[in-house]
Amino acid sequence: MIKNESFVYPQIDLKKTGAWLRTLCAYKGYSVKDIQDKLHISSNQAIYEWFNGHTLPSVNNLLALSSLLGVSMNNLLVDNVHDVIYRDDKEFNNDALYRRCRGYMLYINNRVIRMCKEGNSEAS
Q: Please state the φ and ψ torsions of residue 42, each to the nearest 5 degrees.
A: -70, -30
Q: How many helices (H) and strands (E) does the chain have?
A: 6, 0
Q: pLDDT digit string (tens) for 22-65? A: 988 988 899 999 999 999 999 999 999 999 999 999 999 999 99
The reply to whether 100 falls in a domain is: yes
Please tell me the total count of domains within the chain.
1
Torsion of CA 72, 86, 35, 17, to 10 degrees: 110
108 pLDDT higher than 60: yes
Q: pLDDT digit string (tens) for 65-102? A: 999 998 888 889 888 876 545 444 444 444 566 666 66
Q: What is the DSSP letter of 74?
A: G
The reply to whether 86 falls in a domain is: yes
Confidence of residue 110 (pLDDT cuts 50, 70, 90): low
Domain around 88: 14-118
Residues 65 and 77: their CA atoms lie apart, in Å, by: 11
The reply to whether 124 falls in a domain is: no
124 pLDDT higher than 50: no
User: Which CATH number is 29's domain given?
Assistant: 1.10.260.40
